[in-house]
Amino acid sequence: MIRKYSDMQTSVKEKLRGGTGSALFRAVAEEGSVKHCRLFSEIILEKGSSIGEHDHVNETEYYWITEGEGIVTEADGEKRVTKGDLVVTGGGASHAIRNEKETPLKFLAVIILD
C-alpha cells in the first residue's frame, strides 16, 4: 500500500496542550491504523507557535526534526533542535516544543504505546 502525501488528511489544532498559535497536523497514518501506535503525523509549527508541556505515561513519543529549528523543554532545561535531531520522551517524562524562527519547524511525531 502507498499513501500519497497529497491524500493525507490535515487538521489544525490551536493552542495545543496550552501552547501558543497553531499546529498543522498531516496524518501519515490514520489514528488506530498502526498497531501499538497512537499518533503518526507530520507537525508544522510556524514562528511563534508551540506545543505546551505535556507528559507521556505508558507511551513514548518521538519527534524527528525534518526542517527548521526549535526549542524543546525537558526536565533538565531547554535545548535547541535542528534537522535530523530526534527527541524521545517517555516513562512519565514531559516535554514541550516551540518555534521562534521565521522558517517553519517541521517534524514527524510518533507515539508508541508501551
Cβ 44 vs Cβ 106: under 8 Å? yes
Side chain identity at residue 14, one-letter code: E
Nearest to 70 by CA among 94, 53, 46: 46
58 is written with which cell numbers?
A: 505508558
- List pLDDT tens digits, range 57-108: 999 999 999 999 999 999 999 999 999 999 999 999 999 999 999 999 999 9
Distance, in Å, from the CA atom of 34 to the CA atom of 65, rounded to the nearest integer, reads: 21
Mean pLDDT of 29-39: 90
pLDDT exceeds 90 at position 31:
no
**What global pTM score does this model have?**
0.95
pLDDT confidence tier of residue 55, bands split at 50, 70 and 90: very high
How many C-beta atoms lie closer than 10 Å to residue 91's C-beta? 12
pLDDT of residue 32: 83
* Confidence (pLDDT) at 1: 87
- DSSP code at position 75: T
Q: Give the domains, in start order, of the chain with CATH numbers.
A: 5-113 (2.60.120.10)
pLDDT in tens, 7-19: 999 999 999 999 9
